[in-house]
Structure 1
Amino acid sequence: MAKVTPLSSTAVKQALSNSKVKESHANGKVHKLRDGDGLHLRIRPNGSMSWVLDYVQPFAKKRISISFGTYPEVSLAQARKKRTEAKELIAQDIDPKEHRDDKHREQTLAAKHTLKSVATDWFEIKKTTIAENTATSLWRKFENHVFPKLGHRPIDKILAPEAIEALKPLAAKGNLETTGKIIGHLNNVMNHAVNTGILHHNPLSGIRSAFQTPKATNMATIRPHELGKLMSDISYASIKLVTRCLLEWQLHTMTRPSESAKAQWSEIDFENKLWTIPAERMKMRLEHKVPLTPQTIEILARLKPISGDREHLFTSYMNHNTHCNVESANKALSRMGYKNKLVAHGLRALASTTLNEQGFDPDVIEAALSHVDKNEVRRAYNRAEYLERRRVLMCWWSEHIANSLNGNIDFSARINHLKVIGGSS
C-alpha cells in the first residue's frame, strides 16, 4: 500500500477546488482526502465535508468507520487528536464507536433523569407503603427544601457539597430533625437511582455527618395521675361537640390522630363491636381492628345525630362532606392550656404508660397500639390471638378513663374484676 502524505491545513481549506475532487463530484461520487492511519476527509458532491476514521473492530475484526464531525467545525488538528484517542481505545480492545455511543446514551439519560423526576418515580412506590398524611408531609419537604435548588439538576451531577449547601439554610434555622429526615429521603432516592441503573453509586451516602444530630424528644404527654384533670378540662372546655368527641374517641381507642380524624361510619361494626381501620389509612399499611367499649359506643351515639348521615364520624365544620382537620385535636389541646405539655399523639403514650404500670401484657398493649411485630409469624399469631384479650384491656382502659373524672381509680379491684370476665391480661 502506497504511503499516504499527511494533509496540510491549506490542502483542507482548498479541498473543494482540488481537481481530483471536482472530477469525483462531476461523476456524482464522494471523494476522500486521506491524512493517513485511517483518517480521511470525506467530501460529498453537495460540498459538505466530514472527518472519518476507518478501523478494524476489536475481537470482531470487522472494518467499520466512525465520524469525528464536519469541517470546518472540527479542524484538522482536532480530527487528528480524536484519531489518537480512538487508537488508544482500540489498543485496549475497546471499540471507539461503541464507547462513544454508550457515553452518549448515559448523557442523554442523565439529562432526562433530574432529581425531581427520579424522586417522583421513587415516591410513587414509597407512598403505597406509608400513611397518606405521612406521604403528603414527605413530599412537601421535597417541594419546600429540595426541589427549589436541586430539582432541575441531572441526578448524576449532584454531589455531596451541592446537597449540603442546599440544606444548610434549613439546618441553620434549628430544624435539625427535618433536615435529618430529608437527608434520609434523599439517600433513598439516590439508592433508587442506583438500583434502577441510573447511577453507579450514591454520592450522598455520607452527608448526614455534615450536620448536627438532633436531640431525641418524646411526644409531649402527661403522667397517668393527671388523666382526671385532663378529662375535667375536656368536659369544661369551650370547644365544639365534634372536637370533644374526637378527643375522647382517640383517648379511648388509643389510635393515631389521623386514624381517628378520618374514621368512617362504614368501618364500624355495631353487631360485633369492632372498628376496622383499613390498611391504607394505617401507618404500617396493615388493617387494624379496635374493640369498641360501652364508652366508645356512647360516643358514637352522641355523634349519630350530627354525622350519622355523612361518610365520616368527625365531619369538618366548614364542609360536612369531608372529615375534620387531622390537627383539630392538637389545636383543641393547645387552646385548653396543654401547649408543650400534651399533644394528641401523646394520648397513646399516656395509655401505654398506664397499662404497662398496671401489669397488662406488653404484647397485648403493643397490639392495641397497632405497633407491628417484626417477626411475621409472631405478628400473624398475635393479630388472631390477642383480639379478645385486647377487648378486655380496652374495656379496662375505657372504665379507667370514665372513673378518673370522679377520682375512682381502684386499679387492683378493677383489673381483678376484668380478669374474671375476660381472661388473663
Structure 2
Amino acid sequence: MEKNLTDAYVKTVASPKRIEIFDTSKSGLALRVNPSGYKSFFYRYRFGGKIKRFTIGGYPSVSLAEARRRADELRVQVHAGEDPQGEKQRLKNKEAPKTIGELADLFEEEYIERELKESTQSSYKSRLNKIRKKFSKYSVDEVTRGDVKRFLKKIADKQPYNANRVQAIFSKMYSFAFEEEYTDNHPLKRLSKFGEEETRDTNYYPEDIRNLWQAMEEEREPTQSLIKLLLITGQRLGETSRMKWADIDTENALWIIPKKETKGDRVHVVPLSDKAIEVLERLHELTGEKDYVFNSPKKDGQPLSYFRQVMDRIEKRAELEDFRLHDLRHIVATNMQRLKIDFMHIGKVLNHKGMAKEYIVTSRYIDYDYLDEKRDALQKWSNELDRIISGKKANIFKIGG
C-alpha cells in the first residue's frame, strides 16, 4: 500500500490486521500498523541482492519528520556500501536483553515511560513487577507457553481481572521484543484470557451510601476529602488524586482537569457543586500552600497514592463486601439516572466517551462542553447526597477567602 503520509493520517490510521504503508514522498520509508494500535516506521532497501528492512522506531516517539530525516541518512549509508540492518543486528546480538528481567527494564524505559501517559504508567509498572518477580532470571528465548499459563492461572484463581491485565502487559512486552528483533519467541501470542471476569453488583442503597460516608469520615486528611470528592463528583481516582490547586477556578467554581491527566487525552471541566466546594474549603486550610490538593503527608510535594489499604478499611467499617473505590463512580452514575438526568449529560459529567454519545455528535457541537448541564447534574446529585447523609445545606464557596 502506498500513500503520501501526513501527520494527521499517521496519528489516526488503524487496521484490524498488520499493514505496511509506503510513503510516496520519501522512497523506502514505510509505516507499519499493528492491530494492537502499535505503529512504527521502517526503511526498506536492497543490499547484496536482498531486500532488507531497518526499523527506525515506534510512533509517536519518532515523528513522521524524524522518520523522513532518518530515511535520508540510511539511504546515504546504503549508497556508501554500508548495510544498516547488518550493523544493527550485530549490535543487537551483543546488547539484546538475554533475560526477562533485562527485557522488562528495557520495555519500561522504551515503551512505558516514553509511550504512555504518566497517569497510566503506575498500573503498568505495578503489573510488570509481578512478571519480574516470577520470571526475572528466565531466558527471553526459553520462556514457554506452559510457564506463562501456570503463572497466569495462579493469579486468575483469586484475581481474574488482574490476571487479564498482567497477561496483556506480558504479551505487549513480548510483542515489543519481537518487533525490535530481540527474539523470535512469543509464548503469549494468541493465548486466550485466563481470568473469567464476573460482572460485579455495584448497586448501593441509601443506607450503604450513609455507611460509606461515615466510614470515610474516620479516615485522616487529606485521604478523607479525596474519597469524599470521588463520591461527590464521580471522577476517576487517578485524575482526582492528582488535582492541583492551580486547576481550580474559584471565581467560576470549576475544576479544570488538564489534557495530560485525563483518560480521554482532552481537557475536562468539572463544575463544583456546593458539597464539593464545602470539602475543598476545609481542605484548603491544610494543603492550600501545596501544589497538590491531596498532598501526601509521607511524600511532601507528591499526591496521595496506593489506596489498597484505604479500600480495605472502608469496606470493613461500612460492612460491605468487595468494595472498590471505582464503585463510587458507579454510585454517582446510577443515582443521576434515578434523578432522571439525561444519559448524555451523565456521560459528559463522568467524561465517559461512550455514555456521552460522542460518536454521533456532529461537528457543530465540538466547542460546546455542556457546562450548564453538567453543573445542574452535579448540583442535583450534591443535594441528593446531602439528603441521604444528613439533609444539611451546603456552604458558600470561599476557597482561600
* TM-score, normalization by structure 1: 0.60
- SS class of match (1:163): helix
Match of 2:173 in 1: 189
Q: Matched residues, percent identical?
A: 21
1:160 matched to 2:149: no
Conserved in 2, the CA contact under 8 Å of 1:130 and 1:285? no
Cα gap change, 1:294/1:107 in structure 2, threshold over 3 Å: closer, same or farther? closer
Spell out the pairing of 1:257-336 with structure 2 (5 A cutoff): 257-318=237-298, 321-327=301-307, 330-336=311-317
Conserved in 2, the CA contact under 8 Å of 1:130 and 1:284? no
**C-alpha separation in 2, matches of 1:159 and 1:175:** 22
User: Which of 344, 348, 351 is matched with 1:363 structurally?
Assistant: 344
**Cα drift, residue 125 of structure 1:** 3.0
1:354 matched to 2:335: yes
Conserved in 2, the CA contact under 8 Å of 1:193 and 1:199? yes
**C-alpha separation in 1, matches of 2:303 and 2:96:** 43
Conserved in 1, the CA contact under 8 Å of 2:92 and 2:182? no
Cα gap change, 1:330/1:161 in structure 2, threshold over 3 Å: closer, same or farther? closer
Match of 1:147 in 2: 132
Conserved in 2, the CA contact under 8 Å of 1:262 and 1:323? yes
Match of 1:215 in 2: 197
Q: Relative to structure 2, which stretch is displaced further, 255-264 or 270-279?
A: 255-264
Match of 2:214 in 1: 233
**C-alpha separation in 1, matches of 2:233 and 2:390:** 21
**Cα drift, residue 155 of structure 1:** 3.5
1:137 matched to 2:123: yes
Conserved in 2, the CA contact under 8 Å of 1:264 and 1:313? yes
- In structure 1, give the amino acid aligned to 2:373: R
* TM-score, normalization by structure 2: 0.63
Conserved in 1, the CA contact under 8 Å of 2:231 and 2:329? yes
**CA offset digits 1:43-84 (Å, max 9, x no partner):** xxxxxxxxxxxxxxx989xxxxxxxxxxxxxxxxxxxxxxxx
Cα gap change, 1:203/1:274 in structure 2, threshold over 3 Å: closer, same or farther? same
- SS class of match (1:275): strand
- SS class of match (2:368): helix
Match of 1:47 in 2: none
Match of 1:68 in 2: none
Aligned-pair RMSD on alpha carbons?
3.9
Q: Which has the higher helix share?
A: 1
**Cα drift, residue 116 of structure 1:** 4.1
Cα gap change, 1:231/1:111 in structure 2, threshold over 3 Å: closer, same or farther? closer
**C-alpha separation in 1, matches of 2:184 and 2:358:** 33
Higher gyration radius (CA): 1
Spell out the pairing of 1:410-425 with structure 2 (5 A cutoff): none
Cα gap change, 1:108/1:131 in structure 2, threshold over 3 Å: closer, same or farther? closer
User: Which of 256, 259, 262 is matched with 2:236 structurally?
Assistant: 256
- In structure 2, give the amino acid aligned to 1:340: E
Match of 2:326 in 1: 345
Cα gap change, 1:129/1:296 in structure 2, threshold over 3 Å: closer, same or farther? farther
Conserved in 1, the CA contact under 8 Å of 2:112 and 2:124? no
